[in-house]
Amino acid sequence: MKSFRFAAAALAASALGAFAAAPAGDAARGRALYMKNMCYTCHGTVGQGGERGSGPRITPHPFPWEAFVQAVRRPREAMPRYAPEFVSDQELADIHAYLESIKPGRKASEIPLLND
Ligand code: HEC
């Protein structure tokens, strides 16, 4: 029980560490890292969601930093876990900046071809 409490405390502390502050991210570097780390294979190259439900849509309006870190470091179900040894917090911040740089497409009502 004691060791369980210790593990829980350590986990909480490491989670808090990750939540402390979002490092400033670089969207161009983030795009390269998003490709290199294979995020695109499940979420699509612009985060639009993957084929046949391989991964949910994660843009536009990606999760805020804390929830994003949580989703990548401790995925809920089928997504592989990306530990800090493989994708650092700085790299995650770059990926987050890339996802934030992706703006929503135009509304159907603003596309002339769809309104003929
Ligand atoms: C093998 C497929 C796969 C890969 C590769 C993958 N993901 Fe995911 N991702 C998923 C699935 C499936 C979920 C839904 C939650 C779950 O099943 O764990 C998810 C959930 C997420 C979420 C939370 C969105 C939500 O609505 O639940 C974020 C953010 C995310 N992924 C980002 C990333 C990033 C960033 C990378 C690359 C570093 C990545 N994913 C790589 C499959 C993948």
Question: Which among 32, 82, 79, 89 has a CA at the least distance from the CA of 58?
Answer: 79
Distance between CA 98 and CA 92 in Å, rounded?
Answer: 10
Amino acid identity at 74: R
Report which ligand 1 atom has the smallest distance to the Cα of 75: 18
* Contact between 33 and 97 (Cβ < 8 Å): no
Task: For residue 116, report the distance from its CA to the centre of ligand 1, in Å.
Answer: 38
Residue 2 scores a pLDDT above 90: no
* Contact between 27 and 98 (Cβ < 8 Å): yes
DSSP letter at 93 equals: H
65 CA to centre of own chain: 8
- Tell me: the pLDDT tens digits for 11-63? 555 555 555 578 899 999 999 999 999 999 999 999 999 999 899 999 999 99
Distance between CA 92 and CA 71 in Å, rounded?
Answer: 11
Residues with CB under 6 A from ligand 1: 37-39, 41-43, 54-56, 58, 63, 68, 71-72, 75-80, 82, 87, 95
The phi and psi torsions of 44 (rounded to 5 degrees) equal 85, 155
* Other beta carbons less than 10 A from residue 71's beta carbon: 16
The CATH class for the domain spanning 18-104 reads mainly alpha
Distance between CA 85 and CA 12 in Å, rounded?
Answer: 18
What pTM value is reported for the model? 0.84
Among residues of the chain, what percentage have pLDDT more than 70? Answer: 83
Residue 9 scores a pLDDT above 60: no
Ligand 1 pocket, mutate which of 42, 95, 101 (most atoms under 8 A from CB): 42
